[in-house]
Chains A and B, each alone.
Chain A
C-alpha cells in the first residue's frame, strides 16, 4: 500500500500567476517528494494552491504547505488555498499554530558547542579525579559507620550480613576453587617444562607456592569477586535508586550507609580472605597433582618441600591484601550503584563501569603492594 501512495504536483505558470494543483496523498510517506517539488516554486510567486483533489493530508503534508506559505510571505509572494475541506482547514490551522509556537521558541538550538581535544582531556581527568574523590568519600562513610558499630554492635544488620556473606562468599566457592585448581595445574605444567631443562624439577614446588600463595590466588579471586559481586552491588543499589527506594529509606529515617553499604562491604571483608584461602588450597592441590603426574614428585615430598622454606610467609603476604581488595570491590560497587540515574540505560552503564573500575583498582592496589613489600624486603 505504502508504495502505491504518491503525491502529484502540477505547477502551471500563466499571466504572472502560478497555479499548483495537488493530487494524491500528502503524508509523511510522500513528504520527501513533496518537499522536492515545492522547492522550485519561487518565493515571490503569486501562488494558487488547489487541494481539492487531494485524497489525504496529514500533519507532515500540512506542515509542508504552511512552510511554503511562510516562505512566500517572506519573499513577497502571495499564497492562496482553494478547495480545502473543513477537515483539512482544521488540520492546517492546528499545524500553523504549533509551527508558530515552535519557531518562536527555536532561538536557542540546544546543541552544545564542539569541544577541543585538550578540553575533552581536561574534562575526563577532572571527572576521573571527582570519581576517585567520591569513592574516598564512600570509604570514609563506611569506616565511620563501622566505627559506630564497634561502639554499638547491636545496630549491625545481622540477617543482611549473613545473606550477603552467602551471596558473595559461599556461592562463589565453586568457581573460585575451580579457578585455583586450574591455575595450580597450569603453573605446575609450565614450570615443569622450564625447570626440567636445568634438572631443577623439585623447585616447581617453590614456584607454585610463591606464585599462588603470594600473588595469583588472591589476585584472581579478587578479580572474579569483582566481576560477580561489584556488579551485583551496583545493580541492586542502582535499581533501588531508580525506583526511589533510596529516597523512601531516607524519609523513613534509615541510614542508607548502614542499611545498604555496611552489610555488603563487611560481608566482602569477611569472605574475600576465606575465598582467597580456598583458592590457595585448591591451587596447591592442583599443583601437587600435576607435579606428581608430570614430574613424579609425590604428594608427601610436595608437602615437605612446601613447609620447608618460608612459603608460609608467602601465604601471609598474599592474604594480607585480601581485606584491601574487599574494601575496593565493595566501595566501588556501592559507589557506582548510587550514581545510577532514573533510567534503565544508566543502570547498565554504571554496572559495567563498576566492574571495570573494581578490577582495575584491584590490580593497581596489587602493584602498589608489590612495591611496598619489595621495599620492606618481605
Chain B
C-alpha cells in the first residue's frame, strides 16, 4: 500500500490489518490494510463487487472475517466481549444504503431507539433531542411523526443519518449516502455531511460511487482494487496514480466533469 499522505502523529481511530474476507471460494479481501485518522472524512471507492460494503460491514462487526484484525477506537472489534462491544457501538453510528429505518416506528421513534441505552433519560428530553437530531439532518419537523414508508428516498437517508447521529458518535459509517438522490439532493447531502462532521468533530467512513461527493467532502480517498486497499491519498494524489482502474476512474469523463465543477467552485 502506498500512502500518499504523511500523518505520522495523527490518532488512528480505525486500524485494519491483514484482513481476509471470503465467501465460499470467492475471496473478497486479502491482506487488506487501512488506517482512518480522527476527524477525517475518508471516501472508499472501488468497482462493483470489490467489497466496499463488505469492508464497512466488517469494520462495524457485522461480518466476521476469515483472518486479520480490526481495531476501532483502540478496541479489537472481533475479540471484544459483549459489554465492550455495546460500549463501542455507542461510539459509532452506521447509516445503511436505504436508511434501514425500522418500518413500524415513526422517524422520531427511530431516532429515539439508540437513546434507549442511556439510563434515566427523561422521555421529554429524549423527544426533544430526537427532534433536534432530525432537524440537524435537514428534515422538516413535520417528518417526525411520519413512517419510513411515507418518506422519499432522500428523506429516508436523512432520517437514517439522524439515527446514526443519535448518540453523538465519534465515527459514522455511511454506505453510499448519495446513491439514488437527484444531483441537487446529493449536493445538499454532501454539504450536510461535511458541515456535521466539522461541527460535531466526526470521523466519517464513507463508501461511495459519487465522484462529486469525493470532491466535495472527502479529505482522503482509499481505492479498493485487487482485493486490498490499493492506494490512499487526496483527490489530487489520485490523479497521478497510474494503476489502470484508478486511472480510468479518476480520468474518465465523469471524473473530469466533477473535477471541473469542483475547481470552478473553489475559484469563483
| In the complex, per-residue mask of A1-15: 1 if CB is within 8 Å of any chain B CB, else 0 | 110000000000000
Q: Does A131 contact B (CB under 8 A)?
A: no
User: With A31-B125, A102-B141, A343-B147 known to touch, is A87 a contact of B201 (CB < 8 Å)?
Assistant: yes
Nearest A residue to B114 by beta-carbon distance?
A28
A316 in contact (CB, < 8 A)? no
Decide yes or no: A98 and B135 within 8 Å by CB, A35-B122, A63-B128 being known contacts. Answer: yes
- As a 0/1 sequence over residues 304 to 340 of chain A, the CB contacts with chain B under 8 angstroms (1 = contact) are 0000000000000000000000000000000000000
Chain A positions within 8 Å of B118 at CB level: 28-29
A46 close to chain B: CB less than 8 A? no
Question: Nearest CB to that of B120 among chain A residues?
Answer: A32
In Å, the complex CA distance between A1 and B88 comes to 11
Closest to B142 in A: A105
Query: Per DSSP, are chain B's interface residues mostly helix, strand or loop, or mixed?
Result: helix
Q: Which residues of A contact B121 (CB under 8 A)?
A: 28, 31-32
A341: interface (CB < 8 Å): yes
> A91, B199: Cβ atoms under 8 Å?
yes
Q: Which residues of A contact B128 (CB under 8 A)?
A: 63
Residues in A whose Cβ lies below 8 Å from that of B136: 59, 94-95, 98
Inter-chain contact B104/A345, CB cutoff 8 Å? yes
Q: Is B199's CB under 8 angstroms from A90's CB?
A: yes
Query: CA separation between A58 and B186, bound complex, in Å?
Result: 27
Q: Find out whether the CB atom of B135 lies under 8 angstroms from the CB atom of A101.
A: yes
A296 at interface, CB cutoff 8 A: no
- Does B140 have its Cβ within 8 Å of any Cβ on chain A? yes
Contacts of B140 in A (CB 8 A): 105
Docked-complex contact B129 and A28, CB < 8 angstroms: yes
Residue in B closest to A30 when the chains form the complex, CB atoms = B118
Question: Per-position contact with A for B132-159: 1 when CB-CB < 8 Å, else 0?
Answer: 1101100011101101110000000000
Q: For window 144-189 of chain B, which residues contact chain A by CB distance below 8 Å?
A: 144-145, 147-149, 165, 167-168
Q: A45 interface residue, CB < 8 Å from B?
A: no
The smallest C-beta distance from B160 to any residue of chain A, in angstroms, reads 15
Asked whether, in the complex, the Cβ of B132 is within 8 Å of the Cβ of A95, the reply is yes
Nearest B residue to A31 by beta-carbon distance?
A: B125
Closest to A67 in B: B128
Closest B residue to A57 using CB positions: B168
B263 CB within 8 Å of chain A: no
Does A141 sit within 8 A of B, measured CB to CB? no
Q: B81 to nearest A CB, angstroms?
A: 14
Q: Which residues of A contact B122 (CB under 8 A)?
A: 32, 35
B132 touches which one: A32, A98, A344, A345 (CB < 8 A)? A98
Q: What 6 pairs between A and B have smallest CB-CB spacing?
A: A342-B149, A343-B103, A345-B104, A58-B168, A105-B141, A94-B199
Q: Which residues of B contact A (CB under 8 A)?
A: 87, 103-104, 115, 118, 120-122, 125, 128-129, 131-133, 135-136, 140-142, 144-145, 147-149, 165, 167-168, 195-196, 198-201
Known: A35-B122, A343-B148. 8 other contacts (CB 8 A): A28-B121, A32-B125, A90-B199, A94-B136, A94-B195, A99-B132, A101-B141, A344-B104
A residues at B contact (CB < 8 Å): 1-2, 27-29, 31-32, 35, 58-60, 63, 87, 90-91, 93-95, 98-99, 101-102, 105-106, 110, 341-345
Would you give 6 A-B contacts (Cβ < 8 Å), ordered by A? Answer: A28-B115, A31-B129, A58-B168, A59-B165, A94-B136, A102-B135
